[in-house]
Amino acid sequence: MNAPAATQHRAFSPSRIAAIASNTLLELIRLKVFYFLLIFALLIIGCSFFLVNLSFQEQFQVLKDVSLGAMSIFTWLLAVLATAMLLPKDIEDRTLYTILAKPVPRLEYLLGKLLGVLALLFVAISLMSVMFVLVLYIREQAAIHVATRSMAPAELAGEIASIRASTFTVSLIPCIVIIYLKAALCGALTLLLSTFASSSIFTIIVSVVVYLIGHVQPIAREYWLATNDAGAGTKIFLALISLIFPDLTAFNLVDDVVAGNAIALGLFLKTAALGVTYIVVYYLAAYFAFSAKEL
């Protein structure tokens, strides 16, 4: 009997990447990830009950701050923890060998993994956003109800408009997108670290350190670039911090959006562009390290 014939190879295959990405998403969704979401939901709802002594404006402010703050931290945590164990797990279980023994370029494997994480973050943030909007809407309706019962008709329209303005602002949407990009950026960075780190714990710890330093990077940058009489050693140290670490405060728009700032399209696009650039750069760096990794 004749042996099977030789097969043609496709250099770049979106379906291969999609297969790995969807498999990764499935794997991650089965983690305790949804417990995180549960905690978040409880946080938002629980938050409402402690605010009875404040005016509705103050209540909405705190509700939004807590919800968006929780969204920020949970998506970041999710990104780091999920990504940190992706590669080590595949290596330990040897599934990596089985996959790379197929005609799958390492580039596509890594991209599939990253896209799986990004998909997970998207699912998480979407669910959280839905819960957030729902709770906000319920509280808004409650406030309107109270106002309707206690206010004169002449002032009611103004009051309702005021209530509505304190709850939903259009800028909440780009704000949430930026939260997503910040978490995605941290995920890509964690992926890079995991390609050469010796263990998941190490990857996670370094990721957390980078997160903290990333929030003081602008301060370091300011000191480095400003003319002052800091010594050469200090200047070099500050320069290294500024160059190596990402400026994560650039993605902190939540505080001011909740205070009432609007996000103009130009500002949003510029901030988003920075986030996307970081993700791409970290991914390419991860590929560069991974392609030489001895398995």
Q: Among residue numbers 5 through 64, which ones bind other proteins (CB under 8 A)?
A: 6-10, 13, 15-16, 18-20, 23, 26-27, 30, 53-54, 57-58, 61-62
CB of 256 to other proteins, least distance (A): 5
- Other C-beta atoms lying within 10 Å of the C-beta of residue 255: 12
Closer residue to other proteins in complex, CB, 151/218: 218
Q: Which of residues 160-199 bind other proteins (CB under 8 A)?
A: 196
Stretch that binds other proteins, among 125-133, 135-143, 148-156, 266-274 (CB under 8 A): 266-274
Buried b (16+ CB within 10 A) or exposed e, 69-108: ebbbebbbbbbbbbbbbbbbebeeeeebeebeeeebbbeb
Work out how close the CB of 288 gets to other proteins at its nearest, in angstroms, rounded to a whole number: 6
We find the least distance from the C-beta atom of residue 243 to other proteins, in angstroms, to be 3
Q: How far apart are CA 252 and CA 249, in angstroms?
A: 5
Residue 212 touches other proteins, criterion: CB under 8 A:
yes
| Phi, psi (rounded to 5 degrees) for 55 | -70, 165
Binding of other proteins by 252 (CB under 8 A): yes
Token representation of residue 148: 């309707």
Identity of the residue, 98 or 199, whose beta carbon is nearer to other proteins in the bound complex: 98
In the chain, which ranges are continuous DSSP H helix? 14-29, 33-49, 56-92, 95-100, 106-150, 153-167, 172-196, 200-225, 232-244, 254-258, 265-291
Judged by CB, which is closer to other proteins: 4, or 233? Answer: 4
Task: Using the minimum distance from each CB to other proteins, give the nearer residue, 36 or 109.
Answer: 109
